[in-house]
Structure 1
Amino acid sequence: MDPDEVVRLVEELKISTCHEEEQTLTIDTDALQIGEQRTGSCLVAKIFSPKAINREAVISHLPRILQAIKHIEICSVGDNLFILDFKSLQDRKQAFSGGPWNIFRNLIVFRELCGLQNVTAMNFDTMPIWIQCYNLPLVLMHKDFLQKLGSQLGDVEEIDTRENGFSMGKFARLRVRLDLRQPLKKHIRLKIQSGQEDVFVLLSYERLPDFCHNCGIIGHSFRDCENSWLEKGKLTYDSWLKAPLRGSGPKAKYPNSPPS
């Protein structure tokens, strides 16, 4: 049965049986603990694609993509939705924390199972990703300011600095949990003091999967973009948003007057 159909039927039952006497079963603590121990090695994965990805291809290719050392049992629970049962906790940790990952150029988002949560009702709207921040004045490349900078993008999970709290290099690195429903941000404008020019901090995203160069949202290409407020085919997001891993800056120069 299709997961959406299951959800619909459950909601109908909640309404239709509210005045009926029905058989119920109380869940005890032992049953929950046994289940939590068994599913502690699992992760739920959603592949962001407007089309259904071939299940057999995912099951075949995903362990190699995740660089798993031991076997992973993979089960499909819906279109582009899978449960992964890891035989190695190290492999599980690598999959959960080492991303973002992509398969056939489509983003994979992982979630941990939590209590009685229904797999098909889980929220996959956010994802942590390392962001490289270029053109940032050296005096601002300290942990306190980088925390404020990253909060403009999402919830800051980690800041890559030296022991003294400073980031010394071509760019600063932040691991930020992004809202996948929102367009990628290309820059952050810093207003300094009166009479001084604003500073544009350029943003480049590590391990970034394919995204829409039309609207800047991850999960579809510009050919599948349905955002009607944009002029179809007028691409405003360039490939330099994909950062080389710990490498040099964006290859393309940023326009002299970035959009506000």
Structure 2
Amino acid sequence: MWTKKSVANVFKEIPEEKLEACNLTLLGKLHSRPNVNFQAFLTTMKKAWKTDNVVVDQPQQGLFTFTFRSESDKKRVLEGSPWSFSSNLLILVQLNPKIPIHRRVFTHCAFWVQVHGMPVARITKNSLQEVASKIGKVIEIKMEAKEGGLCKVGKARVLLDLAQPLTSGIMVNFEDDQYWVDFKYERLPHFCYSCGKMGHFTTNCEEIP
């Protein structure tokens, strides 16, 4: 039962140095199999990120803090995600100084998704935005063409809900026709071909044995 004696008021401002350290810190959580060798994990991630200027701590199993020495290093690592350790997805989010670490949710992760099968003239940023928005929140759109050619590859950085199965593609309606377009996900960790979700293989699927 709550009483006045069991409530503490902490209204003081957060020290500037604390805010600065929090701003340079990312929270990371392994999507599956949290029990890993910490030293091996640390060595692998520093090598993948090409930096030693990061202090890593493990508040609890499978949950990590990464404090960088510079904003540029932190931004580069965050924008370069998704990252994996032994095919196990590492979800990275910015540390919020006002939320306890154990209360932070790790339900979404951004992936680059290529869109294949669009008519050449239809590959525009607006059309890619519309198509990619059907699988998640679109963060960024890129158009890539080799040596300025007409045939471009369009892709979107999409925030995916990890609880949902991956979408292989969708049907797109145009004024005079419709086509099926395929999604190709870049740098996917291990996932299940039965239920379509990330975090386990088909042999360990509980939904579709």
Query: TM-score by structure 2 length?
Result: 0.88
**Structure 1: stretches of 5+ with no match in the other structure:** 1-15, 233-260
- Kindly state the Cα deviation for residue 154 of structure 1 after the two structures are TM-superposed: 0.7
- Kindly state the Cα deviation for residue 22 of structure 1 after the two structures are TM-superposed: 3.8
Q: Is 1:21 equivalent to 2:1 in the alignment?
A: no
Greater mean alpha carbon deviation, residues 31-40 or residues 112-121: 31-40
8 Å CA contact 1:154, 1:178 repeated in 2: yes
Change (3 A) 1:84 1:98: same
Aligned residues: 205
3-state secondary structure, aligned to 1:114 = coil
Task: Flag the structure with more relative contact order, 1 or 2, with Cα contacts below 8 A and sequence separation at least 6.
Answer: 2
Q: Is 1:144 equivalent to 2:89 in the alignment?
A: no
CA distance in 2, matches of 1:168, 1:178: 30
* 1:131-182 superposed Cα distances (whole Å, 9 cap, x missing partner): 11111112221122211111101111111137xxxx9435311111111111
**Structure possessing the higher radius of gyration over alpha carbons:** 1
Query: TM-score by structure 1 length?
Result: 0.72
Change (3 A) 1:24 1:216: same
Deviating 4+ runs (over 4 angstroms): none
Match of 1:43 in 2: 26
3-state secondary structure, aligned to 1:36 = helix
8 Å CA contact 2:33, 2:88 repeated in 1: no
CA distance in 2, matches of 1:183, 1:109: 17
CA distance in 2, matches of 1:222, 1:79: 25
**Structure 2: stretches of 5+ with no match in the other structure:** none
Match of 2:182 in 1: 202
8 Å CA contact 2:22, 2:96 repeated in 1: no
Change (3 A) 1:27 1:34: farther
CA distance in 1, matches of 2:61, 2:137: 29
Q: Is 1:61 equivalent to 2:61 in the alignment?
A: no
Match of 1:217 in 2: 197
Letter in 1 for 2:201: S
CA distance in 2, matches of 1:34, 1:27: 17
Q: Which protein is richer in strand relative to its size?
A: 2
Letter in 1 for 2:154: A
Letter in 2 for 1:146: L
**Percentage identity across paired residues of the two chains:** 26
RMSD: 2.1
Letter in 2 for 1:59: L
